[in-house]
Structure 1
Amino acid sequence: MVSVLVAALTGCGGGSTDVPGGIDISSGSQHLNLVAYATPKIGFDVVLPAFRQIPQGSDIGFSQSYGASGDQSRKVARGLPADVVNFSVEPDVTRLVKADVVDKDWQTQFPNNSVPFGSVVALVVRQGNPKNIRTWDDLLKPGVEVITPNPGSSGSAKWNLLAPYAAKSNGGADPQAGLDYITKLVRDHVKVLPKSGREATSAFHQGQGDVLISYENEAIMLSRKNATAAPADRIDYLLPETTFKIENPVAIVNTSSNKPAARTFVDYLFSPAGQELWAKAGFRPVDPAVVSATANLFPGHIAKLWTIADLGGWKLVDKELFGSDGAITKIYNEEVGG
């Protein structure tokens, strides 16, 4: 039986979001509200101060809000002040299009379908990999406890589940095989339901679970802490040979009172300087030149990288797998009570 994670976790990091690294980012004659999913905070903590160092950004201050992607999207749809949104999955932006908060053509307003960075699905294990986890099948070994967020609130949970679903269904060619795997995983191995990818990382770091399904960038973040972490807190991570490409979109809210400043900021996310900062923070850049220059930051061999396009796109996937009547939603309702 799965228990819902209710303890307060250190998901978004300590300190004020207005002073990442002790640097004030709130002051300026112009102001933007950034609403994002939880995991890229470590990237924005570097990107925002750097943006304010260039002439175009020097007088733009920021307020920030981070949380589970689906929850953040719903809050903006209900009126949470926002100028720029960055969510884990496309459907969380689509919700804002339906609410007339984001323009229908948002994906054409910036390069790469308005996806400035992304990741791949990785497996995080305890140092030394004591459970000998190598493949998706290894997650179904008796006694292996898996940490992954609740897809009802978390975009990262959807990516996490799509990776083994695509691997086992051969890119959707045999959907029942993919769903059979997800059923076994959720029923027998998922014991807690964090709300967001960052909360899932915190739960794993606090000692819960044997394997964390996560973004590669979260795995990189944890691995960088190994040198100063207690032995019991040190981790290893691996990329399954068959895994999934993660694409995290950004959009400007059409109710913004300062769209020019918002566009200037989003343009910076796609600039070479911004792309390099995302790469150094552990997120995969999208600019081809930066991808090539930073390839050494992302070790590991991937034999097959499935994409959301391979499964028919988010409109189809979200309806068939994650919507109110979706197949994976039904699995969660039946196995863990939603």
Structure 2
Amino acid sequence: MHIRSRAATAASLLGALVSSSFLSACAPGSGSTSDADTAETISIVGFAVPEAANKNIAAEFQETDEGEGVRFQTSYGPSGDQSRAVAAGLEADYVHFSVPTDVTRLVDEGLVAEDWDAGANQGVVSRSVVVFGVRDGNPKNIRTWADLVKPGVEIVTPNPASSGAARWNALAAYGQVMSDGGTEEEATDYVDKFFENVVSLPSSGRDATTAFLGGTGDVLMAYENEAILAAQNDEGFEYVLPDTTLLIENAGAILEDASEPSQAWLDFVLSDEGQTQFALTGFRPIRDDVDFGGTVEGAADPSNPFPPVETLLTVDEDFGGWDEVSTKFFDEENGLIFQAILGAGLSLE
């Protein structure tokens, strides 16, 4: 078992992602762009989970004065892979990644301004929480984190080598032990047992959902919004919001050489209109005062779609921030989570 070099595969990854890009626009005949169109095109590169929300926000944006005539070219996939592809040359005006370290990679490359996270939102454009997806009727009676590590429970979670969603899941698993008064040794032991029960490590959060819907595993580690969106698409599964979980904060930024309407797009994403569209596809708005109507179809309780969490952990307050997290948990050689995965006999390929 080994951890592959991500930098070594960046060029081939870029080629694969470029071929998967497509253009989305409300104007007819918008299957390609010319040089004249480029200034009015926003190229979005993002992780897989918010694709539906971004499509809805784009449609709303195109109805505004700033968005009139703007076209969208999009590419979605695993967050880490998408970030590496942009660093390798994939065209992007706006990036929407699962974790902020995937944006700071582009800062280090000189592609995104160093102060990208200096605003009131601190670079966060969408939020969610970690939940447990379970089979109809919850036959394994999964209610708590302790239930996940019982013998015979099969877990599906994405691969943290490529997926940001996987990193939130793994941190939540570790953090809930510490929050309950456990030691670092006990938290590490829990994570080891957790990955011993993992039966599938798909490349992205969306691929993990697809695997679970296809019959793999008893429990899906997921974003709350991914569970809600699945129900909206008539592919629903029950989900459990544990008493202790982790706040997921997804990062968004425009690039230094972004097309002219890109800043207006980012402003719209952060506006009440943009955050309403996130809420309606299952994301928790980044501000508590966003009025999305109070009802979200597909939620466990549509009239109370985002119930408060008894103990809500955050990376900054409970883990010391992403710089510390990246070294301690996800270093390719000695990261605690990567070591747990390899120790369980799983592959990070």
TM-score of Structure 1 vs Structure 2, range by shorter chain: 0.7 to 0.9
CA distance in 1, matches of 2:188, 2:291: 34
Alignment-derived partner of residue 67 in structure 2 = 57
Q: RMSD of aligned C-alpha atoms?
A: 2.5
CA distance in 1, matches of 2:311, 2:128: 14
Q: Find the residue that maps to 2:75 and give its secondary structure.
A: strand
Q: Give the alignment partner of residue 246 of structure 1, picking from 245, 248, 252.
A: 248
Q: 1:225: how far off?
A: 3.9
CA distance in 2, matches of 1:291, 1:172: 37
Seq. identity, %: 40
Alignment-derived partner of residue 12 in structure 1 = none
Q: Deviations over 1:6-65 (max 9, x none)?
A: xxxxxxxxx985348998877766111100000000101211111101111012111000
Matched, 1:321 2:329: yes
Alignment-derived partner of residue 309 in structure 2 = 302
Residue 77 of structure 2 aligns with an amino acid whose one-letter code is G
Corresponding pairs, count: 316
8 Å CA contact 2:279–2:292 kept in 1: the answer is no
CA distance in 2, matches of 1:78, 1:218: 29
CA distance in 1, matches of 2:310, 2:26: 38
Aligned runs of 1:256-335 on 2, under 5 Å? 256=258, 258=259, 260-290=260-290, 294=294, 296-309=303-316, 310-324=318-332, 325-335=334-344
Q: Find the residue that maps to 1:191 and give its secondary structure.
A: strand
CA distance in 2, matches of 1:24, 1:111: 39
Q: Give the alignment partner of residue 147 of structure 1, picking from 135, 141, 156.
A: 156
TM-score by length of 1: 0.87
Matched, 1:68 2:73: no
Q: Which runs of 4+ in 1 moved over 6 A?
A: 20-27
Q: 1:105: how far off?
A: 0.9
8 Å CA contact 1:71–1:153 kept in 2: the answer is yes
Residue 308 of structure 1 aligns with an amino acid whose one-letter code is V
8 Å CA contact 2:21–2:74 kept in 1: the answer is no
8 Å CA contact 2:25–2:71 kept in 1: the answer is no
Q: Deviations over 1:102-149 (max 9, x none)?
A: 1111101x4310212110001111111111000011111221110000
CA distance in 1, matches of 2:212, 2:49: 15
Aligned runs of 1:59-208 on 2, under 5 Å? 59-108=69-118, 110-170=119-179, 174-187=183-196, 189-208=197-216
Alignment-derived partner of residue 5 in structure 1 = none
Deviates more, 1:99-108 or 1:152-161: 99-108
Q: Find the residue that maps to 1:112 and give its secondary structure.
A: coil
Q: 1:298: how far off?
A: 2.1
Q: 1:243: how far off?
A: 0.4
CA distance in 2, matches of 1:267, 1:172: 41
Q: Deviations over 1:187-222 (max 9, x none)?
A: 2x1111100000000000111111000000011112
CA distance in 1, matches of 2:28, 2:289: 30
Q: 1:223: how far off?
A: 2.6
CA distance in 2, matches of 1:163, 1:112: 22
TM-score by length of 2: 0.84
Residue 316 of structure 1 aligns with an amino acid whose one-letter code is E
Q: 1:294: how far off?
A: 3.8
Matched, 1:18 2:23: yes
CA distance in 2, matches of 1:273, 1:114: 18
Structure 1: gaps spanning 5 or more residues? 2-14
Residue 333 of structure 1 aligns with an amino acid whose one-letter code is L
